[in-house]
Chain A
């Protein structure tokens, strides 16, 4: 049985609805990914914990609230603290160009603007996920 790409999807913060995120989730399922859906109002601690328990390959965060400069780095930091650097963190939302550079430096992956075709996100994950894991031998 081959390994599936497992992606945690969440929407941190207090804003809005998750229709857009559900569309992405469905597209990912249809692309053969296993999507662990957390939904709304997730804190970085909840997200990092879930990703580790789920042995996720990637975490996708949808952030429209403008809090991206705290939420992404905080999640990245929590993952590092728990020894889960291999988990790819990417996202979507309205993120100004100048912030994107800083986030990339902080170890955050691609950030997709609103309306990005889901195929683009899926292609990105298929290319970016393999090889990130440096797993210890079983025995």
Chain B
């Protein structure tokens, strides 16, 4: 049996293998997406992002547990950074998702960011398609809220939760703009710590403009993930956002925006790959470089020539 046949028969090992295929951007990627694509679009996609250590995994643990208890099938993608020095990664999110172990309704996959050129964003989008086609009702993506790529991943989601904690004050300042703009629901986790109330106030102030201009309330919730306090309210807020998207047909708009940026990234990846292949192997480029050296052509002129050759 092929991997796809096993996958459609509900084999978890095949699901895992297919995620590896899309994650490593293998040659089989395109065939996989072609085979599963008609069966996608049903799952609710939730992104959770925020500074390191804010409590994202602990919140996911609680929320996914709640969903699973209602017999919802949940797929989780937890992204941690790749070491830029070795290309390896320490993927530790499962440590804080212990309560989900052995839960038949929950599937967890840890992913490394694999560097800016690693296609993380495109790969996680495809991994979501795979989970969706497998029959997951909910897909939750956890990313560390640093860097554009991680924010992009969170934005594959229909609903984005931004999780902060009182101690993440400094790092929010740094990445505040990005985080504040992409969130639909805001969480101040570690509400048992000093400074939580202040942070809630601060967030509410920052969100005033968005609230005024858009018909969504951008709720700010206080939680203690370790005890579960406030997690039910977080769940309600996420579901309310879901209904909000449905009511105003905004879900379709959002998904089209996601697809358009996926399209853009696929094109960028392909063009980058082509350019880099040609750079190493196309003798015409060497000839062009000679011409540029001899001042028969400017570098821009040479680039135009290459592009013109591609177009025809």
Question: Measuring CB to CB, which residues of chain A are less than 8 angstroms from any residue of chain B?
Answer: 1-4, 25-26, 28-39, 42, 45-46, 49-50, 52-55, 82-84, 135-139
B91-127: which have CB < 8 Å to A? 91-92, 94-95, 101-102, 107-110, 112, 114, 118-119
Residue pair B4, A138 in contact (C-beta under 8 Å): yes
Tell me whether A35 and B91 are in contact (CB under 8 A): yes
Which B residues lie within 8 Å of A3 (CB)?
Answer: 20, 24
- Nearest CB of chain B from residue A111's CB, rounded to whole Å: 23
Stretch of B80-88, B146-154, B294-302 lying at the A interface: B80-88
Contact B107 A135 (CB under 8 A): no
* B17, A135: Cβ atoms closer than 8 Å: yes
Tell whether, in the assembled complex, residue B108 and residue A50 are in contact, meaning their CB atoms are under 8 Å apart.
yes
Q: Does B180 contact A (CB under 8 A)?
A: no
For the complex, what is the distance from the CA of A54 to the CA of B114, rounded to whole Å?
A: 16
Contact partners of B119 in chain A: CB under 8 A:
1
Q: Does B87 lie within 8 Å of A4, measured CB to CB?
A: yes
Q: Which residues of chain B have C-beta atoms less than 8 A from A137's C-beta?
A: 2-3
Nearest chain-A residue to B21 (Cβ)? A138
Contact of B2 among A36, A50, A138 (CB under 8 A): A138
Which of B21, B25, B90 is the one whose CB lies under 8 Å from A37?
B90
Inside 8 A of B25's CB, which chain A residues have their CB? Answer: 1
Q: Are A29 and B16 in contact (CB under 8 A)?
A: no
Could you list 30 A-B pairs, sorted by A, with CB under 8 Å? A1-B25, A1-B26, A3-B24, A26-B90, A29-B88, A29-B89, A30-B85, A31-B86, A31-B88, A34-B88, A36-B94, A37-B95, A45-B102, A49-B102, A52-B13, A53-B12, A53-B109, A54-B16, A54-B108, A55-B19, A83-B11, A136-B3, A137-B3, A138-B3, A138-B4, A138-B28, A138-B31, A139-B2, A139-B4, A139-B35
Given contacts A46-B101, A55-B16, A83-B13, A37 and B86 within 8 Å (CB-CB): no
Does B44 touch A at the CB level, under 8 Å? no
Closest Cβ–Cβ distance, residue A117 to chain B (whole Å): 17
B68 → A minimal CB distance (Å) = 14
For the residues of B in contact with A, the DSSP-based class is mixed
Residues of A within 8 A of B11 (CB): 83
Closest B residue, CB atoms, query A2: B24
What's the nearest-Cβ distance from chain A to residue B53, in Å? 15
Q: Determine the chain A residues whose CB is within 8 A of the CB of B17 once the complex forms.
A: 55, 135
Report chain B residues within 8 Å CB of A2.
24
B94 near A1: Cβ-Cβ < 8 Å: no
In the complex, the answer to whether A139 meets B31 with C-beta atoms within 8 Å is yes
How far is it, in angstroms, between the C-alpha of A68 and the C-alpha of B13 when the chains are bound? 26
Q: Among A3, A32, A34, A49, which residue has the most Cβ atoms of chain B within 10 A?
A: A34
- Whether A53 lies near B35 (C-beta < 8 A) is no
> Do B91 and A30 touch across chains, with their CB atoms under 8 A apart?
no
- Interface-central residue, A32, A33, A39, A55, by most chain B CB under 10 Å: A55
A36 and B95 alpha carbons, distance in the complex (Å)? 9
Chain B residues positioned under 8 Å from A36 (CB to CB) = 91, 94, 110
Minimum C-beta distance from B96 to chain A (A): 9
A2 to B115 CA separation, bound complex (whole angstroms):
13
CB < 8 Å neighbour of B3 from A28, A54, A135: A135
Chain A nearest Cβ from B85, distance in angstroms: 7
Task: Let me know if A84 and B89 touch, CB within 8 A.
Answer: no
The 6 closest A-B pairs by CB, nearest first: A138-B28, A55-B16, A29-B88, A46-B101, A32-B88, A39-B95
Q: Which residues of A contact B102 (CB under 8 A)?
A: 45-46, 49
Known contacts A50-B94, A54-B109; A4 and B88 CB within 8 A of each other: yes
- B31: chain A residues at CB < 8 Å are 138-139
The answer to whether B264 has its CB under 8 Å from any CB of chain A is: no
Do B88 and A30 touch (CB < 8 A)? yes
Q: Is the CB of B87 within 8 A of A35?
A: no
Known: A38-B95, A49-B101, A55-B20. A33 touches B12 (CB 8 A): no
